[in-house]
Amino acid sequence: MVQARAEATRRRIVDAAVTLFSEHGYSDTGLAAVMDRAEVSKGAFYYHFESKEALASAIIDEGIAQLLDTFYEVTAAPAPALENTVRATVRLAHMTQNDDLARIANQLRQALSQVSSAGAKTYVYATQGFLDQVEKAVAEGDVRADIAPADVAETICAGVLGCHLLSDAMGDDPFARLARTWRVLLRSIVSNDALPYFHDFLSRTLAQYAQPTNTPAARKLTGAGNSEPSIPV
């Protein structure tokens, strides 16, 4: 019973922080506001988290774990590895736009990666996940064998993470950026004969997930209530 109450209190703190970070940003949210929103005492807060940075690290861990679980779920499907990799990156982009925990965790990861191991270690997990898929894609004949799989994986990881970083900073469409990034990557890693198929696969995958977001930045760019913007692929 005591453990259940403690877990419920921790959950309220994390949920309150995610909401407030989403509304006001990490820097402009004080711990007092988190405690008030979570309806917990200072003692209860510090029982679970020693600092604001510790709370942020917990959010990163939980949100990134959710994203990694989704990545491995998608890439475990009985489909070619390169197709699964493309599909996974698009689905993760959808999550970071529509799931508050995933979105805030991703933003905190970007902001705190140089000062928090919780942010930095996700790059290791992401690169390894891409490497596993690239090696399978090489074996399946979809990715060129004359390029080192580790180089391909690092380039995919950098490109995908860069899309999120730039879209968050610019307040624009992450799916359009992801489409452009994948088109450049595909021209580099697949054969000319296979390129039309994978471009078509990318377009079809984006069409499944790339819906306009309802973030303040997106509303500012598109205008609230305007018709849905198209996704250039």
Residues in CB range of 19: below 8 A, 6 or more apart: 37, 100
In a domain, 230, yes or no: no
pLDDT (tens place) for every residue of the chain, 233 residues total: 768 888 999 999 999 999 999 899 888 999 999 999 999 999 999 999 999 999 998 999 899 889 889 999 999 999 999 999 999 999 999 998 888 998 899 888 877 765 566 666 777 888 999 999 999 999 999 999 999 999 999 999 999 988 888 887 788 888 999 999 999 999 999 999 999 999 999 999 999 876 554 444 333 333 333 333 333 33
In a domain, 119, yes or no: yes
In a shared domain, residues 107 and 123:
yes
In a domain, 26, yes or no: yes
How many domains does the chain divide into? 2
- Write the CATH number for 208: 1.10.357.10
In a shared domain, residues 109 and 217:
yes
In a shared domain, residues 123 and 14:
no
The residue range of the domain holding 30 is 1-50
- Which DSSP string do the residues of 78-99 spell out, in sequence order? SS-HHHHHHHHHHHHHHHHHH-
In a shared domain, residues 42 and 86:
no
Question: Which residue intervals of the chain are DSSP H helices?
Answer: 2-24, 31-38, 42-48, 52-75, 81-98, 100-112, 117-140, 149-170, 174-189, 195-209, 216-222
In a shared domain, residues 11 and 120:
no
- Write the CATH number for 36: 1.10.10.60
In a shared domain, residues 63 and 172:
yes
In a domain, 181, yes or no: yes
In a domain, 174, yes or no: yes
